[in-house]
Amino acid sequence: MNAASTTIDRKGLSAAIASYVLWGVFPLYWYLLKHVPAMQIISHRIVWCALFVVGFLVIREGWGWLRTALSRPRVAWMLMASSVFISINWGIYIWAVTHGRVIEASLGYFINPLVNVLIGVLVLHERLNRAQWLAVAVAGLGVLWLALLHGDPPWIALVLAFSFAFYGLIRKLANVDAVPGLAIESLFLLVPALAWLGFAHSQGVAAFGDGNLGSDALLVFGGALTALPLIGFAYGARRIPYSLVGILQYIAPTLQLIGGVWLLGEAFTGTQAIGFGAIWVALGIYGFDGWRRSRRQPALAAQEHCAEQVPACDGAAPPHESGRKP
């Protein structure tokens, strides 16, 4: 393994960390808007995010990005579907934050990586090793414990985890970059969001423009805050090892949990800690297995490279000359 392969781009790492930190402190931001109905918050988030992201792309590239993205097969339909999943995710998340359910929301994002693994098996027919199956099983026990504790499943966490997992699945299959994809999704959601805000205004219950300038500023800036972490994440993920991205993703739900308990005063009981503890053990198993395999792959690649450089003995042909593909 050469030195270049172990070097981590500092700008990429900083961008990825900053994105996860922003996602982690989002509950504190949306909590400031708890006096605004959740549907109005999500509608403003869509509208201002669309204006920010589309404006950014138009200034940088003109309208070429839109033609390029939509010219690819099935991209428009896939992004329409992903826009539905991300709107569900945003809506449930904001509702949870503004109704004192930040801890359960954070659980959803702790579970999400393991839901991704499960969807990979069921939908993409990927195979899991023993450690990964053990992680999924332990996480399932943690969710079951929380369900028995409350008398019903932790539906907020499950909806957040599965909606974001299916969103990620569609975005994985759709051949479009992160920022143009977000812009097109926002454009799909723009008309329903404007219609809802128009309806609220016609009923005299619109929060925007009611004289509270601080609230108006938070609603507008919330659109930019929606886009900035995604742009930073897209920048960072291309410049650091993906195994490191997998570890960094736990920054956000950890900060959400800390903020919910220490800053917003939500209760975190010992019985809840057991359920969360099972999730954390599962994540530890999954993370360690991923780290172990990422360490082995460069070593195996180096061994294969060295083997190719060794001259054939006794006149024997190298493997790629004897019918084996290099």
Residue by residue, pLDDT tens for the chain (326 residues) are: 444 444 567 788 888 889 889 988 888 888 888 888 889 999 999 999 999 999 989 998 888 889 888 888 888 999 999 999 989 998 999 999 888 888 888 888 888 877 877 787 788 777 778 887 888 788 788 877 877 776 667 788 889 989 988 888 888 788 788 788 889 999 999 999 999 999 998 888 888 877 778 888 999 998 888 888 877 877 776 677 655 666 677 788 888 888 888 888 787 777 778 887 887 888 788 778 777 777 776 555 555 444 444 443 333 333 443 333 33
Q: What is the pLDDT of residue 292?
A: 78
Range of the domain at 43: 10-304
DSSP label at residue 206:
-
Q: What is the pLDDT of residue 308?
A: 46
Q: Is residue 317 part of a domain?
A: no
Q: Is residue 311 part of a domain?
A: no
Q: What is the pLDDT of residue 315?
A: 34
Q: Is residue 102 part of a domain?
A: yes
Q: What is the pLDDT of residue 88?
A: 93
Q: What is the pLDDT of residue 84?
A: 93
Alpha-carbon Rg for the chain, nearest whole angstrom, is 23
- Alpha helices (H) along the chain: 3-6, 10-31, 38-61, 64-70, 75-98, 102-122, 130-150, 155-173, 178-202, 213-237, 242-248, 251-258, 270-309
Backbone φ and ψ for 311, nearest 5 degrees, come out as -60, 150
- Token pair belonging to 78: 């896939």
Q: Is residue 319 part of a domain?
A: no
Q: Is residue 313 part of a domain?
A: no
Distance set, CA 281 to CA 75, 140, 149, 274, 312 (Å): 38, 11, 19, 10, 48
Q: Is residue 223 part of a domain?
A: yes
**Nearest one of 237, 184, 192, 161 to 74, comparing CA atoms:** 184
Q: How many domains does the chain have?
A: 1
Q: Is residue 318 part of a domain?
A: no
Q: What is the pLDDT of residue 298?
A: 58
Q: Is residue 315 part of a domain?
A: no
